[in-house]
Amino acid sequence: MTPDAWSTEVRRRLALGRLLPLGDAADGAWITERAAGAVLRAACAPVPGLAVTSLRLSLADPAAAGTPVVAPPPSGLLPGELRAALEVAVWGADRPRTEEVREAVLDASHARLGLRVSRVDIRVTTLLDTPADPAPPIPPPEVHPSPDPALRAVPGVAGVTSELPGSLGGGDGPGWVEVVVAAGYRAVDVARGVRGVVGGGVLVTWVG
């Protein structure tokens, strides 16, 4: 690999963020922090007078993490409860409204994703007199149709990606497959359906 190609690969890997356990240890599924963060930021956007400026997800207690039923993707975190750490800017007469943000994160984590978020820490870092400019949207990955007809038939699979080296992209053989979840579907439910087809691990790289 050339230095330029290596640098490009490192930047792409860093953009994905942590690979977070999705569901329970028996699910054999993960989701990129980039994909989960996009959903959680969107869930917080309707809260008035407040903007999320930073959102990170990590294991709440690494020592209590379990053992997944399949080998995780490279650097994937072990299954366990998660901690969401947010930094926010606030403005207006009703500031701060952090409790609404906490509820939005917990609701979206469960209803949209299936993440086991047990702790949400929020820190107000900026007080503004006028509303903050909206954050630029997080770019989704390049999506391809799955070459596996069985995988295409799983409800909620919008396509596959190849964000990490060694991803199967179609579920043929051991390893893991990267999938994009269609809008209106819960990520962990789709991942369970994919696992029933491919047998290996599942990495959700985007949620529509």
What is the number of residues in the chain?
A: 208
State the average pLDDT over residues 82-101: 87
Within the chain, all domains assigned CATH 3.30.70.1350 are found at 35-128
State the average pLDDT over residues 36-65: 95
Instruction: Note the pLDDT of residue 43.
Output: 97
State the average pLDDT over residues 106-111: 98
The token pair at 118 is 């047990």
Phi, psi of 98 (to 5 degrees): -70, -30
Cβ-contact 203, 167 below 8 angstroms: yes
Instruction: Note the pLDDT of residue 160.
Output: 94
CATH number, domain 35-128: 3.30.70.1350
* Neighbouring residues of 123: CB distance < 8 A, sequence distance ≥ 6: 85, 86, 87, 88
Instruction: Note the pLDDT of residue 198.
Output: 87
CA-based angle 202:206:208, to the nearest 5?
125
Strand 82-91 relative to strand 117-128: parallel, antiparallel, unpaired? parallel
pLDDT for 171 beyond 50: no
Label residue 15 by pLDDT band (50, 70, 90): confident
Phi, psi of 30 (to 5 degrees): -135, 165
Query: What gap in Å lies between CA 93 and CA 54, rounded to an integer?
Result: 23
Closest CA to 56 of 80, 20, 5: 20
Q: What is the pTM of this model?
A: 0.90
pLDDT in tens, 132-148: 888 888 888 999 998 88
Instruction: Note the pLDDT of residue 13.
Output: 63
Please provide the average confidence, as pLDDT, over all residues in the chain. 88
Among residues of the chain, what percentage have pLDDT more than 70?
87
Instruction: Note the pLDDT of residue 134.
Output: 81
Among residues of the chain, what percentage have pLDDT more than 90?
68
What's the 3-state SS for the chain? CCHHHHHHHHHHHHHHCCEEEECCHHHCEEEEHHHHHHHHHHHHCCCCCEEEEEEEEEECCHHHCCCCCCCCCCCCCCCCCEEEEEEEEEECCCCCCHHHHHHHHHHHHHHHHCCCEEEEEEEEEEEECCCCCCCCCCCCCCCECCCCHHHHCCCCEEEECCCCCCCCCCCCCCCEEEEEECCCCCHHHHHHHHHHHHCCEEEEEEEC
Task: Indicate the residue type of 50.
Answer: L
Q: Bigger pLDDT: 71 or 58?
A: 58
